[in-house]
């Protein structure tokens, strides 16, 4: 019997605030309240009167998983650092299937309007997390809630004023520097791996990993480990050009089945383009394309043009109609291909990286896109700089200390 993943795309039905029947509270309203912190400290009480205090309310994610990441909460037993999940009713946590999803195991607090379960929230790992129900406080102050939602937040991340303080050019230059640091870190790691790895094997593994961004990274890495490039190329070498992609699809699909047996199954809604079967079709097409000359030899002739500001041919070399679009090809180049080719030609590889256009906007750095509000032109390099900020500052309690502060 097939188990369907729960549909968490729709919010739970809104509830009426008891003393103000015309005002209905939704999950989006709770997110606004939490992000703007427009409520008094005494509202954050769990069952039995346990009081919590917000040190940092975390970052709104906007994607799958908890609603806010990397929050810091003060409780009676010390500091809690983790994620925040919001629901209108506490029972929505189980209704959405979150109690089976390890992505929620890092919760520090479950904020709801009404605790209709009457107990703490149990996570997939067996841990219980406190539920804070605003209804215990808002039943007495319902008229104030709508005013809080309408008013501006009391605090915002310093990056939201970066353009006003530093100017668009200086803000962009800071992201450029951070993007270069992130690229050089990836290139240094690739150089260490190349001491014991064949370049094409490493390029294949990194490419499959990049194809897995969006929820399938570990699975695609397991496929690359199960079927390295040197073995796949041998299978394809004796075939006609028109037969290679189909043969590669069959070989990769078998490896996918084996990988699924070794990895835990996590039921999580995925866009059709992010499903492993779709990614395998793209990888198989690339394998057929690279069979004769090899991966590095196929891509290197396009590197000089990309370094000179004409990356279109290099992007096309990794694009597969109906399977790998331009945005994904740019991600493969910035995260996989160019850091590896930098071992042989660091100047051209880094120059090509700097000319890559912005791929799809990354959900984890949505807060930085919002902060810049379109005032700074963005490309792949600058979004990589945002990821550098995310990894080194936003997720490490460094808000207010980063180069945009």
Query: CA 387, CA 181: separation in Å to the nearest integer?
Result: 11
Q: Using one digit for the tens of pLDDT, what is the confidence trace for 312-332?
A: 999 999 999 999 999 999 999
Range with top average pLDDT, 37-51, 235-249, 269-283: 235-249
Strand ranges in 61-165 using DSSP code E only, listed in sequence order: 68-75, 78-89, 107-114, 121-122, 128-129, 131-133
Q: Using one digit for the tens of pLDDT, what is the confidence trace for 161-220?
A: 999 999 999 999 999 999 999 999 999 999 999 999 999 999 999 999 999 988 788 888
Q: Using one digit for the tens of pLDDT, what is the confidence trace for 134-170?
A: 988 877 677 777 788 888 888 889 999 999 999 999 9
Query: CA 144, CA 38: separation in Å to the nearest integer?
Result: 10
Query: CA 387, CA 133: separation in Å to the nearest integer?
Result: 34
What residue spans of 6-116 are helical by DSSP H? 27-36, 92-95
Domain limits of the chain? 15-154, 160-396
Query: CA 321, CA 319: separation in Å to the nearest integer?
Result: 7
Would you say the pTM of this structure is higher than 0.75?
no
């Amino acid at each position: 019997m097939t188990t369907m993943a729960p549909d968490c795309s729709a919010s739970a039905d809104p509830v009426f605030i008891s003393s103000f029947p015309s005002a209905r509270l939704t999950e989006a309203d709770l997110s606004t309240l939490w992000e703007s912190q427009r409520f008094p400290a005494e509202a954050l009480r769990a069952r039995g009167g346990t009081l919590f205090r917000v040190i940092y309310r975390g970052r709104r994610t906007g994607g799958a998983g908890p609603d806010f990441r990397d929050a810091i909460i003060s409780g009676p037993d010390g500091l809690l650092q983790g994620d925040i999940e919001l629901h209108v009713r506490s029972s929505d946590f189980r209704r959405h299937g979150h109690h089976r999803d390890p992505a929620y195991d890092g919760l520090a607090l479950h904020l709801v309007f009404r605790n209709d379960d009457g107990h703490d929230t149990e996570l997939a790992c067996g841990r219980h997390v406190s539920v804070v129900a605003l209804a215990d406080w808002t039943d007495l102050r319902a008229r104030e809630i709508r005013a809080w939602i309408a008013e501006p937040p009391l605090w915002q991340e310093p990056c939201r004023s970066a353009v006003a303080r530093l100017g668009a050019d200086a803000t962009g230059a800071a992201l450029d520097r951070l993007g270069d640091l992130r690229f050089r870190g990836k290139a240094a790691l690739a150089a260490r791996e190349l001491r014991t790895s064949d370049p094409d094997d490493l390029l294949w593994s990194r490419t499959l990993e990049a194809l897995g961004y969006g929820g399938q990274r570990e699975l695609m890495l397991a496929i690359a480990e199960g079927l390295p490039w040197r073995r796949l190329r041998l299978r394809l070498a004796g075939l006609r050009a028109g037969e290679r992609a189909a043969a590669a699809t069959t070989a990769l699909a078998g490896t996918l089945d084996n990988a699924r047996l070794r990895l835990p199954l996590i039921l999580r809604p995925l866009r059709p383009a992010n499903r492993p079967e779709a990614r395998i079709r793209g990888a198989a097409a690339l394998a057929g394309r690279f069979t004769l000359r090899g991966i590095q030899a196929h891509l290197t002739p396009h590197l000089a043009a990309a370094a000179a500001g004409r990356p279109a041919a290099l992007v096309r070399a990794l694009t597969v109609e109906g399977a790998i679009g331009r945005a994904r090809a740019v991600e493969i180049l910035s995260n996989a291909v160019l850091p590896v080719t930098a071992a042989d030609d660091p100047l051209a590889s880094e120059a090509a990286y700097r000319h890559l256009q912005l791929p799809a906007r990354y959900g984890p750095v949505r807060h930085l896109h919002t902060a810049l509000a379109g005032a700074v032109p963005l490309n792949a390099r600058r979004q990589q700089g945002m990821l550098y900020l995310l990894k080194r500052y936003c997720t490490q309690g460094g808000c207010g200390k980063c180069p945009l502060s």
